[in-house]
Structure 1
Amino acid sequence: MYVRVFAAAWLLACAGLALLAWGFEAPFAYDPVGPRAYPLLLLFLMGIGSLWLLCKPKGEPTPAFDWAMARRAALCILVLLAYALLFEPLGFVVSTALAGFALGLLFNGRLWPCVISGVLLGLLLYGLFDYLLDVPLPLGVLRLLES
């Protein structure tokens, strides 16, 4: 019952925020997709998740509250908050590598695969956004390598 009420409220919030995001315009073209694509994509995905929670069959039981899972979710939120705060000072590559590493460990990954995947995630996504999509990203501490 509470899940459906939350899902309905979240779906309405997503719809309202999508209306706001639709009006996002930049005074100059700084990237090819514009400022509204990313928020609209995220709101669309959250809206689909809310619809699924609203329409899922009643026969599926809602899992009981699990403190370990709640602690893991809180740590995940803290990692994402740290990622947002460190994005400019450390740069995209380093902050993404650290966030990928931390999230990998948070989801029970082994140490070295998490290190390797975090570094690859930072480097490959930087290459994708900066070179292929022509979206400028901050270099942060790696500014020294730029020449």
Structure 2
Amino acid sequence: MYVRLFSAVWLLLCAGLAIIAWGFQAPFAYDPVGPRAYPLLLLALMSAGSLWLLFKPGVLQQQLHLPSAKRAVLCVLTLLAYVLTFEALGFVLSTALATFAMGLLFTGRLLPCAISGVLMGVLLYGLFDLVLDVPLPLGLFEAFVES
């Protein structure tokens, strides 16, 4: 019962936020996709998950056990740390650390998680900055880059 209630409320919140996000307009074109694409994509994914829980709440109750719940809480804390360190450390370093931590959370080995974290940070920065022309914070690396 609580799962259905939560998912119904969450679905309503997603609908309200989608209405707000639809009106996002940038005063100048700072990236090719605009400011509304990312929030609308996230809201669509959350709405799909909410609909799934609304119609099949028993699946979640059967699969939820303590190690999974602990891993989910650590995952949320990792993402929170990612958000809080994004500007101070910069995109590359914060993405590398978050990817490394998430890999370890999902039973990855130390060296492959470290390598994939560094690759993810560097390659995604190159993709966003060079290909998509989306400016991202450099954080600690700003002192090494001359504009």
In structure 2, how many angstroms separate the alpha carbons of the residues matched to 1:68 and 1:142?
37
Q: CA RMSD in A?
A: 1.8
Alignment of 1:1-147 (within 5 A): 1-56=1-56, 60=59, 62-63=61-62, 65-147=64-146
Q: Offset at 1:36?
A: 1.0
- Structure 1: which 5+ residue stretches go unaligned? none
In structure 1, how many angstroms separate the alpha carbons of the residues matched to 2:131 and 2:99?
21
Distance 1:45 1:136, change over 3 A: same
Question: Identity over the aligned pairs, expressed in percent?
Answer: 68
Distance 1:29 1:94, change over 3 A: same
Distance 1:49 1:65, change over 3 A: closer
- Structure 2: which 5+ residue stretches go unaligned? none
Distance 1:122 1:10, change over 3 A: same
Q: Secondary structure at the match of 2:10?
A: helix
Q: Offset at 1:145?
A: 2.9
Q: How many residues align?
A: 146
Tell me the TM-score normalized by structure 1.
0.91
Q: Secondary structure at the match of 1:27?
A: coil
In structure 1, how many angstroms separate the alpha carbons of the residues matched to 2:23 and 2:48?
21
Tell me the TM-score normalized by structure 2.
0.91
